Amino acid sequence: MIKKKRFDCVAMKIEIQSAIYNETKKMSPQELLEYYHEAIEKGPFAEKMKRIQVRQEKRKKAV
């Protein structure tokens, strides 16, 4: 007996990519960079990215 899926990861990925494409399809390269930088700064992994950047800066200063 095959269980019914409750969550379809591939469908979710396609839906998210489609939404991003529709938001960005008319943007210039510069606007795209700004869009992605803002997404990184405000996204769910923003705090992790900031910690990584701080670590990288410390390593650069140590060398």
pTM of the model: 0.60
pLDDT tens across the length of the chain (63 residues): 667 778 899 999 999 999 999 999 999 999 999 999 998 889 888 999 889 999 999 999 987
Q: How far apart are CA 37 and CA 25, in angstroms?
A: 17
Separation CA 27–CA 23 (nearest Å): 8
The tally of CA atoms less than 13 A away on the side-chain side of residue 19 is 6
Distance of CA 24 to the CA centre of its chain: 14
Q: What is the pLDDT of residue 1?
A: 64
Q: How many whole angstroms separate alpha carbon 56 and alpha carbon 23?
A: 32
The number of beta carbons lying within 10 Å of the beta carbon of residue 22 is 9
